[in-house]
Amino acid sequence: MKRTILILIILLACIYSLRAQSVTQSFNADGIKVIFKPTSKNVINVRIYFRGGVANYSPNQAGIENLTLDATTKCGTKKYNKNAFKDSTDKYGILTYGSSTYDYGYIQLNCISKYFNQGWNLFSEAVMNPVFDADEVKLLKERKVVISRNNQSNAETSLMLLQMQNAFKNTPYAIDPDGSEETVNGLTANDLKNYYETILNKNKVFIVVVGNIDKQVLFKKILAAFGSMPSQSFTPVDLQAPVWKDNKLLIESRKLSTNYVGAIMNAPDFTSVNYVPFRLGISGLGGNLYQYLRSQLHLSYNPGTNTVPLKMPFATMTAGTNNVPEVMAGMVNVLKEIRNSGLNDEWLQHIKNTYITRSFINDQSAAAITDNIGSAEILGGWQYADDLPQLVKMVTVEQVNNALNFYVVGLRWTFLGNPEAIENYRPPAF
């Protein structure tokens, strides 16, 4: 009996120890906020985030942060030229790259634990000592222009950009983080260098690390690598989301085999008690749209919805179709029905189970975890990333229905395609 109790105590201690080891924590390393989630996995993912996103620059510089952060890992550093840097990443299977979106940018490192020292060396060099070589920047710009052209030729991507410009006119979100062919071509290597100096700031960055590494080892590496980073005052731009109470339609003419239509609507802040109920409600709306427009009426092959958690949050409904008036009317009818009748317990439980399953799958990837933690920190606090699955379990049908009715008070429509398909048409009121 005593032996059995002793075994149980040991097992419980091991379980507690494993849980404690995987608890997300935050600490300060010489003025830099660090968020660390230890895991037993052999993959380590590190991201240094730069706050601000499109609010950091003017419309005529669209794409500058995305190009700049990409250049840090593709144009060489003071210690390694472009080829030497790439040779090292290839030799050890190390992934490094930079990117930027509406609210933030980041430089990322992904490698196995065995080669973390080599990966950290490259990553810290890219962050602290990038060389914006004019010839390499020119080549990188050419690749970005090709991507921009491809995005313009992709109808669904174009629709999203048009929706942002339509709904967020006269705000930073009207700026495309990837930039246009014109704005990217207008940027110089010196522009990138000067811009990077404005965002490399201890008060503007934070670091997220997920993987099998000792906290003290990590702390010392950050101090050694980033201790000399400049520290300057930083005040985030106060972004106030527009309130869409109207039912306006923007039409963009383009020769397409299929027309595309989308609607943007208001959504709660990421830190609001209404965020999770609203997000689940929009997922339910998406399922109902798919069943009605595709399965029942066969009017669209890709109807769907999405909640976009940004500092100025919103939700979308989109569909591709050659029967635009019928689809828009159908979208409004489904929206009205779900606002009036709401979800039921069975449908909500199905949505919860789907979300929790996806969350569990995502947690198998160190990169997905740093992404979730980093975006949560940008939007209000990294703790929300850890709390989200539990918050989902607690949501009630009443909370979902109340959130949908409170926030969905107007639609900002965008149409992309043959204008004859929507000539003299006005969106149905709801």
Q: Do 34 and 73 fall within a single domain?
A: yes
pLDDT at 412: 95
pLDDT at 76: 96
Residue 237 in any domain: the answer is no
Name residues of the chain where pLDDT drops below 50: 1-2, 4-20
Q: Do 295 and 382 fall within a single domain?
A: yes
pLDDT at 151: 82
Assigned token pair, 319: 């569909």
Residue 16 in any domain: the answer is no
Q: Do 283 and 213 fall within a single domain?
A: no
pLDDT at 41: 86
Q: Do 219 and 338 fall within a single domain?
A: no
| CATH code of 365's domain | 3.30.830.10
Asked which of 226, 241, 262 is the last residue of a domain, the reply is 226
Q: Do 207 and 286 fall within a single domain?
A: no
Q: Do 162 and 46 fall within a single domain?
A: yes
Assigned token pair, 282: 């929009």
- In tens, the pLDDT along 126-142 reads 999 999 999 999 999 99
Strands 32-38 and 205-211: parallel
- In tens, the pLDDT along 60-87 reads 999 999 999 999 999 999 999 999 999 9
Residue 12 in any domain: the answer is no
Q: Do 300 and 216 fall within a single domain?
A: no
Residue 204 in any domain: the answer is yes
pTM of the model: 0.92
Asked which of 226, 257, 282 is the last residue of a domain, the reply is 226
Specify the number of domains making up the chain. Answer: 2
CB neighbours (10 Å) of residue 12? 10
Asked which of 194, 226, 258 is the last residue of a domain, the reply is 226
Strands 314-321 and 249-253: unpaired
pLDDT at 359: 80
pLDDT at 10: 41
Residue 414 in any domain: the answer is yes
- In tens, the pLDDT along 208-235 reads 999 999 999 999 999 999 999 999 999 9
- In tens, the pLDDT along 347-374 reads 899 999 988 888 877 778 999 999 999 9
Q: Do 395 and 338 fall within a single domain?
A: yes
**Residue 307 and residue 264: Cα distance in Å, rounded?**
10
Q: Do 212 and 256 fall within a single domain?
A: no
Q: Do 121 and 158 fall within a single domain?
A: yes
If you write DSSP's letter for every residue of 51-120 in order, what string do you get? E-GGGGS-GGGTTHHHHHHHHHHHS-BSSS-HHHHHHHHHHHT-EEEEEE-SSEEEEEEEEEGGGHHHHH
Assigned token pair, 256: 């397409």
Assigned token pair, 182: 């014109």
Residue 368 in any domain: the answer is yes
Residue 6 in any domain: the answer is no
Q: Do 162 and 55 fall within a single domain?
A: yes
Domain containing residue 289: 249-422
Q: Do 156 and 282 fall within a single domain?
A: no
Residue 283 in any domain: the answer is yes
**Residue 294 and residue 309: Cα distance in Å, rounded?**
27
